[in-house]
Amino acid sequence: MKKKDEILRMFPAKLREILGQIPGDYEDVQEIRLRAGEPLLVVKDGREYYISPAGQLEKRLCQAAAITPDQIRETVEYMSSYSLYAFEEELRQGFLTLQGGHRVGLAGQAVLEGGRIKTLKYISFLNVRISHQRRGCAEKLLPYLCREGEVLSTLFVSPPRCGKTTILRDLIRLISNGEGIARGMTVGVVDERSELGACYQGVPQNDLGIRTDVLDCCPKASGMMMLIRSMAPEAVAVDEIGSREDLEAIEYARNCGCRLLATVHGNSIEDLKEKPVLRKLVEEKTFDRYVVLSSRIHAGTVEAVYDSRGTPIYESCREKAGLAV
Amino acid sequence: MIRAAGAILICLGAAGLGWEMAFLWRERLNLLVALRQLIYYLKGEILYGHGTLAEALLQSGRKAGGPLGGMFERAAERMELRDGTPFPQIWRSEADKLVSLPLLSGDWERLKALGDSLGYLDLAMQERTLLLYLEQLDESISYLKEHKREKCRLYVSLGIMGGLFLTITFL
């Protein structure tokens, strides 16, 4: 199925009619934003456009098609296949994952119960983020993360929107398929927010490799332990670690002899050392490699790769041949 | 001779009508019982299977079978097509395809109205919607069961008596 058809299938008839007129095959469409009472917007190739009722990309607000609250409600119902009840946990986290790995961010009025978000009501804002898997983006990086053909425990460090999840996803695919390493490894992925595998009805929509098992929508800490006990992975991958429970599970995984692949928010290793929970990880040399990413050149620019002692084995400022992946 | 033949035909025809009415009563009862079973399956699939509406309809329809099960399956398949048609519309159009089944207009209206509420809000809402519909089904089934014997007898007797009455009148 073509990308455009796949994306249009997410929308109810009226919006589909408008969006279907957008020229091109949606390969460079990154986001579609719908806000109740506001113009329909599309982010294409890094630039924002208004969409006219005839589906044309416009730069002038006056020509934009306005989205009604009813259209938002209809779209949410349609996207969830009239089964919002089945997405309660995702709703609590503010997103839905659709077929093809596309994610729909939702905002509206939060309904609280005991101080915890129970659900969202009056959903009035949708951000449809089109999934584009970047195959091969971790290939150049892989040699720095291996020793004797075996991948090492690696932590990706970067601020948000710098591509750490995308690179981790590709790294999982590579080591699972045995590309660039001595042999394919069994990888267990705990995908708490469905960002790595983007599972739809339990099936990963992103290619995570042939030896990958995914535990979707499961809290990282309990999911890691569960996967290790049940699927005996050689490597465990998780996105955005940070809580004390995560650390305990990482400790458990390390003691079981599993390689760890994880991401964390931060700017540098020093940054991690300032955070009480993460400092322990660095001090105890839990990870063999630290990869610091930025969006200096573009998202996924590798600034440096460090070993477990914090010694740089690659630094972008010293290398002529960039590692921008 | 012709008169006698005519009289016999009238009697048989009228009695047949009576039998038909009794048969329809029993058929409606059987269909509503089957529908209740389907709704129980659907409730299970939604509440315990945590499946989407399309999955739940497909599984329960397959499990139950029959014309109503087929309707559930077809509705699920059309949902999976994602051609932009809203679910209530799919549900109603699939229900309309079964109008030849011996259900009353009230039964059809309640079944179609179920499609308007399914999928609305959270899990608790699904349960309440299905329980409400099950309650309505139970009422109809109880009424049909309670009056089955007398009504069936009445229809058959009325058919025969009507046939005799017409025969005597024409003779």
| Beta-carbon separation of A84 and B46 below 8 A | no
| Beta-carbon separation of A82 and B53 below 8 A | yes
CA distance, residue B36 to nearest chain A CA (Å): 21
Q: How confident is the model at residue A320 (pLDDT cuts 50, 70, 90)?
A: very low
Question: Which of A84, A102, A118, A122 is the best mutation test for B, with the most CBs of B within 10 A?
Answer: A84
Does A323 score more than 90 pLDDT?
no
Give me the mean pLDDT over the A19-32 stretch.
84
Question: Which residue(s) pair with A302 in the sheet?
Answer: A293
Q: Which of A152-156, A312-316, B22-26 has the highest mean pLDDT?
A: A152-156
Q: What is the DSSP string of B71-100?
A: HHHHHHHHHHHT-S--HHHHHHHHHHTTTT
Neighbour count for residue A18 (Cβ, 10 Å): 18
Nearest chain A residue to B91 by CA distance is: A82
**Strands A154-158 vs A259-265: parallel, antiparallel or unpaired:** parallel
H/E stretch holding A70 reads helix A69-79
Question: Which of B59, B82, B90 is the best mutation test for A, with the most CBs of A within 10 A?
Answer: B82
Does A28 score more than 90 pLDDT?
no
- In sequence order, the 6+-apart residues with CB closer than 8 A to the CB of B65 are none
Q: How confident is the model at residue A306 (pLDDT cuts 50, 70, 90)?
A: very high
Nearest chain B residue to A6 by CA distance is: B82
Average pLDDT score over chain A: 87
Nearest chain A residue to B77 by CA distance is: A81
Give me the mean pLDDT over the B86-100 stretch.
90
**pLDDT the model gives residue A317:** 65
Range with the poorest average pLDDT among A83-87, A236-240, A261-265: A83-87
**pLDDT the model gives residue A321:** 44
Provide ipTM, 2 decimals. 0.73
pTM given for the model: 0.72
Does B15 score more than 60 pLDDT?
yes
**pLDDT the model gives residue A23:** 83
Give me the mean pLDDT over the A165-186 stretch.
92
What is the number of domains present in chain B?
Answer: 1
Sort out which chain B residues have CB atoms less than 8 A from A92's CB and list them. Answer: none
Contact in structure between B108 and B95 (CB atoms under 8 Å): yes
CA distance, residue B100 to nearest chain A CA (Å): 28
**pLDDT the model gives residue A1:** 58
Read off the pLDDT of residues B21-80 as tens digits, 9 standing for 90 and up: 888 888 889 999 999 999 999 999 998 888 889 989 999 999 888 899 999 999 999 998
Range with the poorest average pLDDT among A244-253, A257-266, B148-157: B148-157
A75 touches chain B (CB under 8 A): no
| Beta-carbon separation of A85 and B125 below 8 A | yes
Does A161 score more than 80 pLDDT?
no
Nearest CB partner across the interface for A86, out of B50, B85, B87? B50
Read off the pLDDT of residues A208-243 as tens digits, 9 standing for 90 and up: 999 999 998 888 999 999 999 999 999 999 998 988
**pLDDT the model gives residue B94:** 92
CA distance, residue A82 to nearest chain B CA (Å): 5
Does B4 score more than 90 pLDDT?
no
The residue that leads in pLDDT, A262 or B119, is A262
Does B171 score more than 80 pLDDT?
no
Read off the pLDDT of residues B104-160 as tens digits, 9 standing for 90 and up: 888 889 999 998 888 887 888 889 999 999 999 999 999 988 887 888 888 888 888
**pLDDT the model gives residue A174:** 95
Backbone angles phi, psi at B127, to 5 degrees: -60, -45
Sort out which chain A residues have CB atoms less than 8 A from B85's CB and list them. Answer: 13
Does A299 score more than 80 pLDDT?
no
DSSP A152: P
Neighbour count for residue B86 (Cβ, 10 Å): 17
CATH code for residues A3-129: 3.30.450
A92 touches chain B (CB under 8 A): no
Does A319 score more than 70 pLDDT?
no
**pLDDT the model gives residue A322:** 47
Q: What is the DSSP string of B104-137?
A: -HHHHHHHHHHHHHTT-SSHHHHHHHHHHHHHHH
Nearest CB partner across the interface for B53, out of A13, A74, A81? A81
Question: Which of A9, A11, A71, A81 is the best mutation test for B, with the most CBs of B within 10 A?
Answer: A81
Parent domain of B54: 2-170
Q: How far is CA A213 from CA A165, A189, A208, A300, in A?
A: 17, 6, 9, 25
Domain residue ranges of chain A, discontinuous segments joined by +: 3-129, 142-315
Number of CB pairs < 8 Å for A and B? 53
Backbone angles phi, psi at A213, to 5 degrees: -110, 135
Sort out which chain B residues have CB atoms less than 8 A from A119's CB and list them. Answer: 122
CA distance, residue A106 to nearest chain B CA (Å): 15
CATH class of A142-315: alpha beta
| Beta-carbon separation of B84 and A12 below 8 A | yes
B107: tokens are: 């039964």
Q: How confident is the model at residue A262 (pLDDT cuts 50, 70, 90)?
A: very high
Does A325 score more than 60 pLDDT?
no
Nearest CB partner across the interface for A81, out of B50, B79, B125? B79
